[in-house]
């Protein structure tokens, strides 16, 4: 068929069918995902509830902060006594450390909510100046009703302040709801005016005027208290826990999306080490190493990840904490004897090489002793730190489970390299370990790197399972937000969009790595 005739056939196709064919060729999966993400991110900018959910599940990161850490110090006073200081570390100048022991408490009170007020020094109510002492009786509190139960109202004022008002302070029968009869709503669709009982002392407030305008007063009820401590006077640091999350205080970013990424990266790094060791054991001719690694791989791949996490967090943790420290010395002796037996066996089997190829004679002996020493040190570390925190338990559970999958990945990658590579390396005088290090493993990593990226994406998503052990990663934060607001759609849509953005970005990077590492045909 000639080109001209094919063009005529295309020209004879109706216009609507041509349009349908072109539309069908579009990458609709990309279009649908992009449109969905655009709608979700549009909600972040336009919906207060979506914005609150985003801030909550990402740990409310800031650009800068002065609230670096919650601290407790035992310090030496001038008379030689010991004084305990508890507060927030907010900075250091030279050897002077500043600790905020009491945070400033302020509230903005609209003028329309005030029944009566007095100002000292004496002044008219409308002219009460800044720095003056004000005493006011609140007539009402108004705002968006977000929560209500038998004993309290929880509202968000027009200035964005969240306040909890006890019902015994309120004339409940006179509460005004807009629209009438509306129920609490986390997105602010129910507004209330809460008339306060004038005889209740909590409704009379006294403080210092910080700002005054025609609409409201900003009143300070408790001033900030900052204590200066000389660094050399600190006797004991009883507590130092990072406080607010900010770019200049990344140690404080320990929950939400930051914890999700941290757990995924650390657990995957540990899983790669476990998987590489188990993968090498899987191709070993030593029956002890082969059977031990096969049991590990088959058992962990046959048990659901959630079950593994629960086992590590509750059963294994309890055993490590209560029984393992007494058992560890016996295990260390056993591993030491096993390593010595393996080293002696290798020395006996390779005794003929001791003069002709001393490096080939020594390498398996050294490897057995190094591995034995490493396991002994690991057991000692676990025995000394057996009371693992929840974060360590979560990382350990993910690493143990994914190590089994990565072991098979490394095994397949190593076995995909032709036998001739190893034979050629050995014929050049390389030992087995040298051949693996310089010839086989570099090629195997090239093969397994794209699948490793896919496994990391899977682990990133599986960090959501850590919510069962109450780690405050993204999913747990979304659960807490839903429990607090009684709205489940917004927080789960928010974390779904964040997970999708991270996995799509990682998928693009994995595909780019695949194209770059692809062997020429």
How far apart are the C-alpha atoms of 218 and 109, rounded to whole Å? 6
Confidence of residue 16 (pLDDT cuts 50, 70, 90): confident
Q: Considering the entire predicted model, what is its pTM?
A: 0.80
**Residue 425: predicted pLDDT:** 82
Instruction: Give SS3 for 226.
Output: strand
Name the maximum alpha-carbon separation found in the chain. 106
More confident residue, 483 or 187: 483
| Mean pLDDT of the 355-380 span | 81
Tell me which residue of 56, 63, 55, 69 sits closest to 247, measured CA to CA.
Answer: 63
Structure tokens at 14: 């109706």
DSSP for residue 201: G
Question: Does 69-103+226-252 match 257-517 in CATH topology?
Answer: no
Q: Parallel, antiparallel, or unpaired for β 140-148 and 216-222? A: unpaired
Q: State the CB neighbour count (10 A cutoff) for residue 1.
A: 6
DSSP for residue 438: I
**Residue 4: predicted pLDDT:** 56
**Residue 125: predicted pLDDT:** 56
**Residue 126: predicted pLDDT:** 63
User: Which residues, at least 6 apart from 269, have a Cβ–Cβ distance to it below 8 Å?
Assistant: none
In terms of average pLDDT, the best of 179-193, 203-217, 260-274 is: 260-274
Confidence of residue 5 (pLDDT cuts 50, 70, 90): low
In this predicted structure, the answer to whether residue 157 has a pLDDT above a threshold of 90 is no
Is the domain defined by 69-103+226-252 classed in CATH 1.20.120? no
Q: What CATH architecture does domain 257-517 belong to?
A: Orthogonal Bundle (1.10)
| Mean pLDDT of the 319-340 span | 86
More confident residue, 285 or 502: 502
DSSP for residue 518: P
Tell me which residue of 375, 377, 395, 380 sits closest to 465, measured CA to CA.
Answer: 395
For 50-95, write each residue's pLDDT tens digit. 888 898 998 888 888 889 999 999 999 888 889 999 999 998 888 8
How far apart are the C-alpha atoms of 112 and 520, rounded to whole Å? 77
Structure tokens at 440: 């086989």
Contact of 407 with 275, CB cutoff 8 Å:
yes
What sign does the CA torsion over 252, 255, 256, 261 have? Answer: positive
**Residue 502: predicted pLDDT:** 93
Mean pLDDT of the chain, nearest integer: 86
Confidence of residue 475 (pLDDT cuts 50, 70, 90): very high
User: Which residues, at least 6 apart from 213, have a Cβ–Cβ distance to it below 8 Å?
Assistant: none
Q: State the CB neighbour count (10 A cutoff) for residue 264.
A: 22
Domain segments of the chain as ranges: 69-103+226-252, 105-225, 257-517
**Concatenated DSSP letters for 133-175?**
EEEEEE-EEEEEEEEE-SSEEEEE-TTS-EEEEEGGGB-GGG-
Contact of 215 with 111, CB cutoff 8 Å:
yes
Confidence of residue 275 (pLDDT cuts 50, 70, 90): very high
**Residue 347: predicted pLDDT:** 82
């Amino acid at each position: 068929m000639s080109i001209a005739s094919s063009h005529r056939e295309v020209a004879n196709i109706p216009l609507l069918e041509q349009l349908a064919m072109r539309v069908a060729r579009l990458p609709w999966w990309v279009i649908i995902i992009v449109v969905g993400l655009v709608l979700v991110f549009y909600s972040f900018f336009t919906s207060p509830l979506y914005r609150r959910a985003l801030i909550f599940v990402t740990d409310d990161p800031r650009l800068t902060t002065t609230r670096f850490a919650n601290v407790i110090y035992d310090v030496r006073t001038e008379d030689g006594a010991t004084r305990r200081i508890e507060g927030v570390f907010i900075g250091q100048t030279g050897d002077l450390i500043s600790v905020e022991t009491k945070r400033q408490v302020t509230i903005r009170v609209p003028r329309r909510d005030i029944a009566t007020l007095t100002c000292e020094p004496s002044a008219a109510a409308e002219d009460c100046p800044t720095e003056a002492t004000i005493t006011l009786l609140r007539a009402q509190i108004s705002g968006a009703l977000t929560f209500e139960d038998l004993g309290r109202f929880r509202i968000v004022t027009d200035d964005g302040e969240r306040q909890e008002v006890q019902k015994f302070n309120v004339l409940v029968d006179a509460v005004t709801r807009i629209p009438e009869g509306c129920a609490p709503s986390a997105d602010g669709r129910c507004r209330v005016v809460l008339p306060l009982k004038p005889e209740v002392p909590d409704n009379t407030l006294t403080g210092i005027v910080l700002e005054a305008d025609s609409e409201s007063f900003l009143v300070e009820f408790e001033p900030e208290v900052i204590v200066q401590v000389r660094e050399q006077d600190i006797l004991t640091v009883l507590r130092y826990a990072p406080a607010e999350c900010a770019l200049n205080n990344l140690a404080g970013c320990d929950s939400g999306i930051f914890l999700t990424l941290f757990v995924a990266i650390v657990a995957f790094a540990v899983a790669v080490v476990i998987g590489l060791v188990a993968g090498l054991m899987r191709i070993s001719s030593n029956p002890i190493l082969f059977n031990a690694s096969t049991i590990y791989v088959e058992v962990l791949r046959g048990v659901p990840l959630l079950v593994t996490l629960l086992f590590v967090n509750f059963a294994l943790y309890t055993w490590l904490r209560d029984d393992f420290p007494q058992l560890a010395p016996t295990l260390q002796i056993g591993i030491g004897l096993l390593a010595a037996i393996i080293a002696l066996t290798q020395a006996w089997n390779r005794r003929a090489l001791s003069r002709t190829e001393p490096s080939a004679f020594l390498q398996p002996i050294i490897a057995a002793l190094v591995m034995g020493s490493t396991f002994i040190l690991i057991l000692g570390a676990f025995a000394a730190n057996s009371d693992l925190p929840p974060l360590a338990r979560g990382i350990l559970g993910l690493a143990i489970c994914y190590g089994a999958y990565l072991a098979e990945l490394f095994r397949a990658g190593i076995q995909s390299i032709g036998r001739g590579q190893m034979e050629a390396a050995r014929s050049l005088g390389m030992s087995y370990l040298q051949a693996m290090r310089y010839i086989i493993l570099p090629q195997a990593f090239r093969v397994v790197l794209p699948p490793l990226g896919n496994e990391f994406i899977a682990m990133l998503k599986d960090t959501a399972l850590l919510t069962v052990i109450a780690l405050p990663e993204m999913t747990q934060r979304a659960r807490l937000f839903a429990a607090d607001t009684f709205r489940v759609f917004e927080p789960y849509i928010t974390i779904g969009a964040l997970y999708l953005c991270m996995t799509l970005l990682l998928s693009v990077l994995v595909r780019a790595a695949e194209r770059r590492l692809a062997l020429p045909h």
